Amino acid sequence: MEDKTFKGKISAKGTEISVLSKGNDEDFISLTDIAKYKNPEFPADVIKNWLRTRFTLDFLGVWEQLNNPGFKLVEFDQFKNEAGTNAFVLSPKKWIEKTNAIGIHSMSGRYGGTFAHKDIAFEFASWISPEFKLYIIKDYQRLKSDENSSISLDWNVKRILAKINYKIHTDAIRDNLIPSKLTAQQKSFVYADEADLLNTALFGMTASEWRRENPDKDGNMRDRATIEQLLVLANLENINALYIGKVMPQSERITELNRLARLQLTAIIDTNGAKQLHELDKKNTDNNK
């Protein structure tokens, strides 16, 4: 759970509840905060009381078997056999350590407490109060709606920026490389030539070469580019426009652009920013299905 990032809070009947996520739909919700609705002073006791019931263990066992290949069934069966007896006590930490459960996490630090996958958290809230659960679900849906709106806005901005970069590049070609007496078809050849200059610098081949090597694939190489490659491509368009304005020969430009492409790809791959872009890309794709 340490790699999850703080996402936001939901509010249910005056109780603030933390939500953690990697940016996908596998959100984890604070059981500690939910438990405070019933016992503000000792929320951990509420969670332990919930864990010791047979019904709870049956639910958690099914959830883990559906979502966790590493779940330890032998240890789970031992807990289930003891559930409901007066002497049986089960803490979240013990449950996690003994069964290798992934649906519940105990955390320390700034956002410490017991967190559970949203499926489990809603079940816990229902045990506390069905009415309280409905308030939680309603505000959780509000949080997700706000998040989706933010992602949509973010990607609209990225599309606009991509269009601006493209126009900067084509304007530089028009103003510096295309003689005024060329036909429209001849002009298109110049634009295509410069586009392939960038393709070769970044992908190592022209568009026609890619199509010959991939006859069974739809689209083109840019359609199948990674997030990192598309980001570098936008940078190369601006840089190439600058080089064209300085009347740098094409042979020099492609060498320098290839060098910069390799440097930039190495710099951004596996960075947190690149990972976040991948998550946004997946979220945007899922939202548009």
In a domain, 222, yes or no: yes
Residue 226 belongs to what domain range?
A: 148-287
Q: Which residue has the tokens 């190369």?
A: 236
Give residue 4's pLDDT band: very low, low, confident or very high (50, 70, 90). Answer: very low
Q: What's the mean pLDDT in 198-226?
A: 84
In a domain, 60, yes or no: yes
Residue where one domain finishes, among candidates 128, 156, 184? 128
Q: Say if residue 168 is in the same domain as residue 274.
A: yes
Q: Which residue has the tokens 């606009």?
A: 160
Helix (H) or strand (E) holding 15: strand 15-21
Q: Say if residue 162 is in the same domain as residue 283.
A: yes
Separation of CA 289 from chain center? 16
In a domain, 57, yes or no: yes
Residue where one domain finishes, among candidates 99, 128, 157? 128
Report the pLDDT value the prediction gives residue 283, as an integer from 0 to 100: 55
Q: Say if residue 155 is in the same domain as residue 116.
A: no
More confident residue, 265 or 3: 265
CA triple 12-16-286, angle to 5 deg: 75
Q: What's the mean pLDDT in 253-281?
A: 72
Q: Say if residue 157 is in the same domain as residue 121.
A: no
Q: Say if residue 120 is in the same domain as residue 180.
A: no
In a domain, 278, yes or no: yes
In a domain, 143, yes or no: no
Per cent of the chain over pLDDT 70 is 74
In a domain, 35, yes or no: yes
Judged by DSSP in three states, 195 sits in helix
Give the strand order in the sheet containing 5-12: 5-12, 15-21, 28-30, 113-117, 104-107
Q: Does 154 score more than 90 pLDDT?
A: no
More confident residue, 231 or 123: 123
Q: How far apart are CA 211 and CA 115, in angstroms?
A: 49
Q: Say if residue 110 is in the same domain as residue 202.
A: no
Q: Which residues pair with 16 in a beta bridge?
A: 11
pTM above 0.85, yes or no: no
Report the pLDDT value the prediction gives residue 139, as an integer from 0 to 100: 86
Q: Say if residue 30 is in the same domain as residue 81.
A: yes
Range scoring the smallest mean pLDDT among 36-45, 120-129, 280-289: 280-289
Q: How many separate domains does the chain show?
A: 2
Q: Does 12 score more than 90 pLDDT?
A: no
